[in-house]
Amino acid sequence: MIWNELEDKLADLEREGLARRRRVLETPCGPLARVDGRDLVSFCSNDYLGLASDPALIDAACAGARRWGVGGGASHLVSGHFSPHETLEEKLAAFTGFDRALLFSTGYMANLGIVGALAGRGDAIFADRLNHASLIDAARLSRADHERYPHGDLDDLERRLAASDAKRKLILTDAVFSMDGDIAPLPQLLRLAERFDTWLVIDDAHGFGVLGEEGRGSLSHFGVASDPRVVYMGTLGKAAGASGAFAAGSATVIEWLLQRARTYIFTTGASPIIACALLASLELIRQGEARRQHLRRLADILREGLSGARWRLMPSPTAIQPIVIGDNHETVNVAQALRERGLWVPAIRPPTVPRDTARLRVSLSAAHDEEHVRRLVEALRELG
């Protein structure tokens, strides 16, 4: 039968220890998660500022539902674009310093839409090898030539750009790399983009809300002003605490995305409730310096606590603090031992990360208190 092959492959995944399981949470997103009746301190979510369950967002979502209903009923270009969406786009553009912004339903869809609208057959895409899967899929789906340069290797990128005779070129990069926590050299990438007249698509899923002045993101972190060749993608399901994403850029490129990005055009607009919650979130991000300061303090406690410990912390200045263990089985065992101590940290294995670099990906949130992080440090030192 047609499904026998799937049964065999699923059995293979089980045998190789690669089958994945969902855990059912019995509590809202926050530093404590009840799973299977047990309370765990969670270092798993990307809710970096602790906004996902913030009362201001909940109130805004409830009021939004009463004012706008639940569903939008159509795509943005037909009749699904409501005034909270429009206001949110204007505020996101002003906040990130670009002419204009366009909302997408998810970051994954934003990346597919942006790259597909800017590149096609015969064009050339230059992508950091550690970019997020959604940028990889976006490049593949665009049908453009897809060259991946070694992580952060600007000399290699420059050689590739110089050797390319493609008419239209795009550089794609994560701003904060999701499994390492390091930050891309955006000013240097922008200089290369200028020199070789390319687009620069920046995926700031982990920087928006966290880095830069008032949480404006990675460009602000470097003090780089907006630039007409930059398309900035920020997601709204991580630090912003809700869901969705936006592209920001010049009026020209955003109008082009509105006309041509297929993942914008051919999908129902996200519920206006989400836009209402995000308007509240944007205010909290802007006023969130205390949260960001607390987050940095937690990272310091973790890093100081683990200095000289058995396992290596990667040099990350962000809320993503990976601990490289190396061996797959050992990583899974350490994660399991932590869970037995009430600490929930995801084990990340190949192919998500390179071979022999299996790691615990610790995500810190401003909703953690210092005691949570100290418990993690203690447990890791004991296990090491």
Ligand X SMILES: *Cc1c(COP(=O)(O)O)cnc(C)c1O
Residues that bind ligand X (CB under 6 A): 106-108, 111, 132, 134, 174, 178, 203, 205-206, 235, 237, 245
Other residues' Cβ atoms within 10 Å of the Cβ of residue 144 = 23
Query: Tell me, what amino acid is at 182?
Result: D
- Residue with smallest beta-carbon separation from ligand X: 107
Pick the closer one to ligand X by CB: 135 or 298: 135
Q: Which residues are catalytic?
A: 178, 206, 238
Given a contact cutoff of 8 angstroms between Cβ atoms, the answer to whether 75 and 66 are in contact is no
Considering the complex, what minimum distance in angstroms separates the CB of residue 174 from ligand X? 5
Using DSSP bridges, classify how beta strands 169-174 and 124-128 pair: parallel, antiparallel or unpaired: parallel
Q: Which is nearer to ligand X, 294 or 361 (CB)?
A: 361
| H-only helix segments in the chain | 4-15, 55-68, 83-96, 107-118, 133-142, 154-163, 186-195, 218-221, 251-260, 262-265, 272-286, 289-306, 328-340, 370-383
Nearest alpha-carbon partner for 361 in 316, 329, 301: 316
| Nearer to ligand X among residue 95 and residue 108 (C-beta) | 108
How many C-beta atoms surround the C-beta of residue 6 within 10 A? Answer: 10
The CA–CA distances, whole Å, from 115 to 123, 137, 208, 231, 260 equal 11, 10, 20, 10, 11
Q: Cβ of residue 245: shortest distance to ligand X, in angstroms?
A: 5
Interstrand relation of 169-174 and 199-203 (parallel, antiparallel or unpaired): parallel
201 vs 345 by CB, closer to ligand X: 201
- Shortest separation between residue 172's beta carbon and ligand X, angstroms: 11
Contact 151, 182 (CB under 8 A): no
CA pair distance 332, 334, nearest whole angstrom: 5
Nearer to ligand X, 361 or 372 (CB): 361
- Least gap, CB of 222 to ligand X (angstroms): 17
Give the nearest distance from C-beta 244 to ligand X in angstroms: 7
